[in-house]
Amino acid sequence: MIITDTIKYVGVNDHVIDLFEGQYIVPNGISYNSYAVIDEKIAIMDSVDARFADEWLDNIKNTLGDRKPDYLIVQHMEPDHSSSIVNFVEAYPDAKIVSSAKAFMMMKQFFGNSFTANQVVVGEGDTVSLGSRTLTFVTAPMVHWPEVIVTYDNKDKILFSADGFGKFGALDVEEDWACEARRYYIGIVGKYGAQVQALLKKAAALDISKICPLHGPVLKENLGYYINLYDIWSGYKTETEGVVIAYTSVYGNTKKAAIFLKDKLEAKGVKVAVNDLARVDMAEAVEDAFRYGKIVFATTTYNNDIFPFMKEFINHLTERNFQNKTVGFIENGSWAPVAAKVMKQMLEKSKNLTYAENDVKIMSALDEESLKQLDALAEELCK
């Protein structure tokens, strides 16, 4: 892949992986992106997962021919981007490694070697000249690790954005960008919205023509679309007007309530997403919860608590700074129902939640009273 006349893609596609980071289902694989910036001197932007080290080094050699890289820029130390550093140093012992001070500390932790003889430590605003272009480094702490830097190429006006603007899916698969980028962002980076907002402010001061992330496609056109989505996601804003209904159901009665509410809302023209938390990809459910402006949690009382999949779901939300939503509850219990109370307690640390006045209480199965409560909740959520 040619990014520009002097910037070439040397990354790899991974179709072997089943779970990214040990938890995210990636049916279309993942890419580990690396770029060769070719000038009077040559910089390689990041390495790849160790399983693909040989393929990556072959890509570099095939791209550079008889030339050798002068620098390896390490923007992020997560192993999917850093675990081939040792292989690179063995292949190119004279190349300098450019990274943040914290990244070199992590190299010592990962490899037992911080490559002191090869180090070039950079921080905010530091530069490396390759000849006709200058690479400027911008710190991006906790987007989503503390050592992260991003890199701006002033000649081609390219932002090498580390994990920012990344997505699931290998590059040889065509799919909608936003869906898998949203699931990627919210699952992996979502907790760090304030830090992403700070990076977006820094990026706004740069003249950017392309964004080259460490996962997913190079973004070349309509950059405002992607940047706007990142602003929405990192600002915990509503992306899509509508209601998410997230439910668990043991014998089907809570599911009946969830479907009844869905049908009522859709009849009123409301967009609804329904997630059976025991069966859906949990990351997809979490994505919906952040995407839509309103959410209804529906579950059973279970061991004087709530059903395990609902507990897991709410934990995923709160650890990612879930906020700025309208929230409704449907609880079910054959005796001593406490589900709504427990769920509300779990959400206490979430900011700016508006709770619906019309909660729904089901005693075993839907009856006339609980159906009236569902009608009232539907009316309230339409306002």
Quick one: average pLDDT of 82-109? 97
Report pLDDT digits (tens) over 267-291.
999 999 999 999 999 999 999 999 9
Alpha-carbon dihedral 277, 279, 283, 288, rounded to 10 degrees: -60
Report pLDDT digits (tens) over 161-175.
999 999 999 999 999
Burial class (CB in 10 A: 0-12, 13-18, 19+), 59: buried
State the Cα–Cα distance between residues 299 and 275, nearest whole angstrom: 12
- Is the separation of the CB atoms in 346 and 308 below 8 Å? no
Tokens, residue 248:
């668990």
- 3-class SS at 255? helix
Confidence category of residue 2, pLDDT binned at 50, 70, 90: confident
Confidence category of residue 375, pLDDT binned at 50, 70, 90: very high
Domain ranges of the chain: 7-234, 240-381
Report pLDDT digits (tens) over 318-338.
999 999 999 999 999 999 899
Average model confidence (pLDDT) across the chain: 97
Whole-model pTM above 0.85? yes
Other C-beta atoms within 10 Å of 79: how many?
Answer: 15
State the Cα–Cα distance between residues 265 and 379, nearest whole angstrom: 8
> Domain 7-234 adopts which CATH fold?
Metallo-beta-lactamase; Chain A (3.60.15)
State the Cα–Cα distance between residues 105 and 167, nearest whole angstrom: 27
Quick one: average pLDDT of 301-321? 96
Quick one: average pLDDT of 242-255? 97
Quick one: average pLDDT of 5-22? 97
State the Cα–Cα distance between residues 179 and 129, nearest whole angstrom: 37
- The residues near 348 (Cβ < 8 Å, ≥ 6 apart) are none
- Is the separation of the CB atoms in 274 and 242 below 8 Å? no
| Domain spanning 240-381: CATH 3.40.50.360 | yes
- 3-class SS at 281? coil
Give the residue among 32, 26, 31, 29 at the shortest CA–CA distance from 45: 32
Confidence category of residue 383, pLDDT binned at 50, 70, 90: confident
- Is the separation of the CB atoms in 190 and 46 below 8 Å? no
Question: What pLDDT, on the 0 to 100 scale, is given for residue 346?
Answer: 97
Q: How far is CA 42 from the centre of its chain?
A: 30
Same fold, 7-234 and 240-381: no
Report pLDDT digits (tens) over 120-167.
999 999 999 999 999 999 999 999 999 999 999 999 999 999 999 999
- The residues near 302 (Cβ < 8 Å, ≥ 6 apart) are 250, 308, 339
